[in-house]
A and B are shown apart, each in its own frame.
Chain A
């Protein structure tokens, strides 16, 4: 079966990731569905431990096979990722889908120059000469707008600034013309002015190259900047997903609303207290029977504790896993009206 242009590049169905290394198995991801089309950027947001990075890394199967159980379906550009064997998996990584890491200083090998690492990646996947690979690395450096690229190719990761390193990381990820780009908190380690530049660069590259981007962040601002759609994750599930604009203006899951209200930026008048979400996320080794957020939710009812809320289609492309979307909507409207 050959993929047609309309098929989604990334299709995840009922993905479950369980880490079995510890005392009790930890359900880091429990039933995620995700669809990303060509030229589309989707942001996974949520707090630490919500399973967003685990989901992202599962797309490249980067979790230790010894200590991880993965179930469900992951299809990327027509390939069944969970069924790929050793060599085929290595061929898929970096070629079909590639990843940008949060802290390039840690994600790049410290004892090789950045140029060599890019050349290595090109030579690994393509049958070209080392000279041509180096030429392409240079073009990539120009593409991600690294000043004096020729010289920077011979720099070691520790000799570059944070923003420059992340640009180099992006160049590395794009080296073999992947169709899917995965970004794991690509701007978290950078300072604010550089963050914007990197986000703009990502969006520009995505449009020019027609990439599908999945990126993980806990910065809602960054998500709005780059993403067409946002998926909010909590305790290993996507609790609300929709077009970026809709999700920000009309959140229907209490957790999304709470996240938006706990932003320092814009949401509040001067002098008022910043809202926080009380309590802490549930223990992933002992997930509750009902909605995982119920314990911290101000709209929670008895029904919320009993069963797992199903995904509720609110509008085309906008869904939330919540029984109390109406109460949330009312509260959200009140906030919007106040602002």
Chain B
């Protein structure tokens, strides 16, 4: 068990190295001059060269990459060109906020997705199934930024129940798990949860329908289990895949929150990425993408490990 755990972790190292390389290259391949945002239009060539040297843009790409990776390993992601603050601190704050939002959204999505999926799969073909399937299709198809705006109009502008934007009175830095702060999380989390909800519902529905057709379900009934007993077996059989899908959705939500975070002005990675792109802030962009990608890799690792403990065929096969 411990050996396989260690092996899994070692396997992720080359993946992480590859991810770092790709994210470094992508950013450098992108057109545009990173210094545009800090240099005044009439800056002298001398000042320009000085800044290029300061940020290390004069060295060869491999050199830049290695020194970037080396410093990243020590927790230093460079300095933001636009703000002059350390990238690591900015990313850290933003990742914390996004992670919180994504986790809440995934949990909402997982709860309702599993519920709809199980009900639809169990009563496959009935009207309950059709309603649940319709809801999940709507969830996947509706653009979530549009849904976000609609939610803001209804619950913030019209009903005045919840705040429309931001992350609470403490801004982006001072978060507490109390109603004063949590209320800011509700609308963006609900808007973000509909896609994972739809995907998880459809996955679980298909899995449950597939499981119910399996011979072992007949076997369970043959030994006298009631519907509830059979249901417990189905849940355990469906859980590994459902959790894997949930983990992946959490990963997507971490990275793909630019639109929602912009709609709700939520100080997360999406917001940060958005401004980094518009300001051509290379170090900030690189750092944010790297941290998000690392989260994705780690998340996959965790999903693998959890799946292995739930389904004995995976870890030992």
0/1 interface trace, chain A 71-106, chain B, CB 8 Å (1 if under): 000000000000000110011111100110101001
* A156 interface contact, C-beta 8 A: yes
The distance in angstroms between the C-alpha atoms of A310 and B240, with both chains bound, is 56
> Which residue of A is nearest B217, CB measured?
A109
* B237 interface contact, C-beta 8 A: yes
- The answer to whether B216 touches A62 (Cβ under 8 A) is no
- The answer to whether B218 touches A124 (Cβ under 8 A) is no
A-B contact count (CB 8 A): 82
- The answer to whether B224 touches A95 (Cβ under 8 A) is yes
**Residue tally, chain B, CB below 8 Å to A:** 23
Chain A nearest Cβ from B127, distance in angstroms: 15
* B45 interface contact, C-beta 8 A: no
Chain B nearest Cβ from A99, distance in angstroms: 4
* A42 interface contact, C-beta 8 A: no
The distance in angstroms between the C-alpha atoms of A113 and B311, with both chains bound, is 11
Chain A nearest Cβ from B8, distance in angstroms: 20
**Residue tally, chain A, CB below 8 Å to B:** 34
- The answer to whether A111 touches B237 (Cβ under 8 A) is yes
Chain A nearest Cβ from B312, distance in angstroms: 5
- The answer to whether A124 touches B223 (Cβ under 8 A) is yes
* A108 interface contact, C-beta 8 A: yes
0/1 interface trace, chain B 233-253, chain A, CB 8 Å (1 if under): 100110010000000000000
The distance in angstroms between the C-alpha atoms of A87 and B316, with both chains bound, is 38
- The answer to whether A172 touches B312 (Cβ under 8 A) is no
* A283 interface contact, C-beta 8 A: no
Contact of B219 among A86, A108, A111 (CB under 8 A): A108
Chain A nearest Cβ from B238, distance in angstroms: 10
Q: Which residues of B contact A110 (CB under 8 A)?
A: 216, 237, 311-313
Contact of B215 among A90, A106, A124, A172 (CB under 8 A): A106
Q: Which residues of A contact B222 (CB under 8 A)?
A: 60, 62, 93-94, 98-99, 101
- The answer to whether A109 touches B224 (Cβ under 8 A) is no
* B39 interface contact, C-beta 8 A: no
The distance in angstroms between the C-alpha atoms of A87 and B221, with both chains bound, is 12
Q: Which residues of B contact A109 (CB under 8 A)?
A: 216, 219-220, 233, 236-237
Chain A nearest Cβ from B220, distance in angstroms: 7
* A160 interface contact, C-beta 8 A: no
List 18 interface pairs A-B (beta carbons < 8 Å), by A numbering: A62-B221, A87-B226, A91-B224, A93-B223, A95-B224, A98-B222, A101-B215, A101-B222, A106-B215, A110-B313, A111-B236, A111-B237, A111-B310, A111-B311, A111-B313, A121-B223, A124-B225, A156-B312
